[in-house]
Structure 1
C-alpha cells in the first residue's frame, strides 16, 4: 500500500492495511520546515505538526520523499525508517511549448508582444516569497508581474492579505488556473521567478524548466548541486540580487540558460520515475518480509 497523505482517513487505512499484514510505502511530501510560514498560527503549530507526520511516516516499511534534501530533514528530525529520495516527476510529453500557447497567454491577460512578463506560481503564503514578489513589482514598474495560485485570504496573516490586495498597474494575481492554462503561461512569460524560501521539491519549478523558461530562483539548500547557478538557472538571495538578475536576464545582458535547464529536467520524466518507484516497492516488500510481516501498528520499528 502506497500512502500519500497524513490525514485521518489515510491513518485509518494505514491501520487496516497493517492488520492485514501488507507492506506499507509512506510518501513524505511534507516536513516541519515547509509547514512553517504558511497559514495563520502555522509556526506555533509546527512542533505538533512535526510529531504527527513523523508518527505517520514511522509506520512505513519504506518512506519515500522527493529529494535528498527532504530526506536529510526527516533524518535530522529523528525518523529511523529507510528513506528513499525519488522525485515526484512530471509528464514531459505534456510540457511542450508552441507559439500558440504563448500567444493565448498574452491575449488572455492583456499583455503586448513587447511587454516583459515575470511569472510565479504558488499558494498565497509567506514561505513562497510572495512578499518579495510584490516588493519587486513595486520596484520595477517597467516589467509586468503575474502570480498564479490561490488560497483563501482568511487563512493567511494580514501582511499576506495586504500584499495580494495590492493595486499596481504591472501586477496581477491570476488565481488558480487549469494545467493547460498554466502551461500557456510558462510558454508566454519571459521569466519564471521562484522566490520560495523552502521546498521539498517544487513541482512548478520542474514544469517551468521543462517548458524551456528562463529561471530565477532563491539560493536555498534544496537546489544546491541539482541546479547550478549560471548553468541551469540563475540564483539570488536578496531582493537586490533579484532586481539585478531580472534586469540582466530580461535585457539580454546575461546568457540564456533555457536549453541547459530543459536538458537537466529530462531525468525527472515520469517514465524514469516509474522504474525508481518499482524498485522502492520491491525494497518495501523485502523489508516487510524480513521484519516478520509488520503486524504491529504501535510506535516505530
Structure 2
C-alpha cells in the first residue's frame, strides 16, 4: 500500500496533529508501508526522505498550522511517480486542498482527518460572524472525501449534526512508557518552591479558546483557604500568556514551552491536572496526564468526554462553570484517598490506549476503502 499525506502542520511543530502523524510514520516504517508526506517548511526542521516540504507562513488565526504555498504541478509530478493507492488529507487548508485536487483528478480513494474545531474557536477571537461560512467551507471540503476520520465520538456526532458525510471514529493512543508516574522527580517541586504542596498542572496552548481565566480564578479562590498547601503550574505558550501572567497570583509558575524529559518529568511530578478547555476534538494532554498518574479535573466537553469518566479517572466539570472546578479542586485537596484513586484509575485507563491497535484499525479502513474503489469506479463510469 502506498499512501500520500497532505498536512499544514508537521514536525518540528508539537501539537496533536503533528504528534499523531509522526507516530504513524514510525508505524509505517516498522510495517514497511510506503508513504509520502507533503508538509510546510520550517526554519528548523529535520530531514525526512519521505517528507516533501513546501514554502509556508504562519496562519494568523491559528498559529499551530501554517499556510503553505505548494507547487501543485511539481507535487503532481512527484505523486504520479510515487503512484499512491490512497490520499489522506490531514488539514483543510492549502496543502489539504492540493491533496484533494490531486485525488479527485486521479479518481483515487480520498480520506481526511477532522482534528481541530476552528469554527468553534472563532468566537474567542471576536470572529463569530465567520462561523457559518467556515462551517460551509469545512462541510464542502470533507464531503469531497470518502471517509472523514475523527479522534472522538463527540467529534463524529458534531460532524453528523453539521451535515458532514461519512464521519468515522479513529481512536488515538498514548506512549505509556514515556508518560509515566515512574518519572516522578522531587527536584521538580523543589525548583518551583512547591515542596510538600499539591501541584495543579495545565499543559497546552495558552490561548483564548482554552478558557484559562478559569484556571487562574480557581487558583485565586483556593488561595484564600489553602495557600500554604497548593501550587499551580502552567506549561505552554500562546497569545494569552502575558494577560494571564498579569492576573495570576504568585503561586502560579509559568514555565513556557517544554518538551522531552522536562515535560514528562513535570507531568509525573505534579498531582492534579486542571483543564478547563471546552473546544477539544480529543485533548491529547488529558491522555498524557492520565498516563502520568494524575487525577483529572476537566471540562467534560468535546473529545475529552471520550476519555474522562466522572468519579473514576477524574472529575467532570461543566463548560465555563468556574464553581465546578473550584469545588472539584477543594474536594481533592481535602481527600487524599480520592486523589490517589482517581490517579491510579487514570493510569490504568491510559494503559488501554495502544498506538499500534489504533493504527491497525486505520490501515484496515484504508484496505476496506481500496476494495470498494473498483465498484465506485464502475458506478462513476456508468
TM-score w.r.t. length of structure 2: 0.68
SS at match of 2:352: helix
Alignment partners' CA distance in 2, 1:46 and 1:243 = 31
Residue-by-residue CA offset, 1:274-300 (whole Å, 9 max, x unaligned): 11111221232234333218989xxxx
User: 2:344, 2:316 → 1: CA distance?
Assistant: 17
Q: Deviations over 1:254-280 (max 9, x none)?
A: 522122222222332211111111122
Gaps of 5+ in 2: 1-86
User: 1:108-123, aligned counterparts within 5 Å?
Assistant: 108=191, 110-123=192-205
Match of 1:139 among 218, 221, 231: 221
Gaps of 5+ in 1: 154-159, 297-301
Return the alpha-carbon distance in structure 2 between the equivalents of residues 147 and 37 of structure 1: 23
1:228 Cα deviation after fit: 2.1
Deviates more, 1:167-176 or 1:186-195: 167-176
- 2-side partners of 1:293 and 1:31: how far apart? 36
Tell me how far 1:54 sits from its aligned partner: 1.9
Q: Hey, what does 1:6 align to over in structure 2?
A: 92
Instruction: Give the aligned partner of residue 259 of structure 1.
Output: 344
Q: Indicate the residue corresponding to 1:185 in structure 2.
A: 266
Shift of 1:162: 2.8
Does 2:171 align with 1:87?
yes
| Residue of structure 1 in register with 2:9 after alignment | none
Secondary structure of the 1:216 match is: strand
Q: Determine if contact 1:22/1:293 at 8 Å carries over to the other structure.
A: no
What value does the CA root-mean-square deviation take over the aligned residues? 2.5
Q: Deviations over 1:144-173 (max 9, x none)?
A: 1111121135xxxxxx85334324211122
How do residues 123-134 of structure 1 correspond to structure 2 at under 5 angstroms? 123-134=205-216
For 1:254 and 1:242, the matched residues in 2 are separated by 19
Alignment partner, residue 205 of structure 1: 286
Aligned equivalent of 1:220: 301
Partner of 2:332: 249
The aligned counterpart of 1:102 is 185
Q: Counterparts of 1:9 and 1:225 in 2: how far apart (Å)?
A: 29
Q: How much does 1:132 deviate?
A: 0.3
Report the counterpart of residue 54 of structure 2 in structure 1. Answer: none
Q: Distance in 2 between matches of 1:204 and 1:50?
A: 26
Instruction: With the length of structure 1 as denominator, give the TM-score of the two structures.
Output: 0.85
Q: How far did residue 9 of structure 1 move?
A: 2.0
Cα-to-partner distance string for 1:14-59 (whole Å, 9 max, x where unaligned): 2123222321120111235543444x23423222222222222122
Query: Structure 1 pair 125/73, CA: closer, same or farther in 2 (3 Å)?
Result: same
2:149 to 56, 64, 68: 64
CA distance in 1, matches of 2:331, 2:178: 30
| Separation in 2, partners of 1:211, 1:122 | 15
Q: 1:171 to 1:6 in 2, by over 3 A?
A: same
Is 1:89–1:273's contact at 8 Å kept on the other side of the alignment?
yes
2:53 matched residue in structure 1: none
Query: 2:200, 2:271 within 8 Å by CA — same for their partners in 1?
Result: yes
Q: Could you tell me whether the CA contact under 8 Å between 1:87 and 1:273 is conserved in 2?
A: yes
SS in 1 for 2:253: strand
Q: How many residue pairs were aligned?
A: 286
Aligned partner of 1:18 in structure 2 is 104
For 1:110-168, what per-residue CA distance to the aligned partner results, in whole angstroms no more than 9, with x for missing partners? 23321221111222233312010111122122121111121135xxxxxx853343242
Q: Check whether the contact 2:275–2:299 (CA below 8 A) recurs between aligned residues.
A: yes
Are the structure 2 counterparts of residues 83 and 289 from structure 1 closer, same or farther at C-alpha, using a change threshold of 3 Å? farther
Q: Is the 8 A contact 1:61 1:287 kept in 2?
A: no
Deviates more, 1:197-206 or 1:219-228: 219-228
Higher relative contact order (CA 8 A, sep 6+): 1
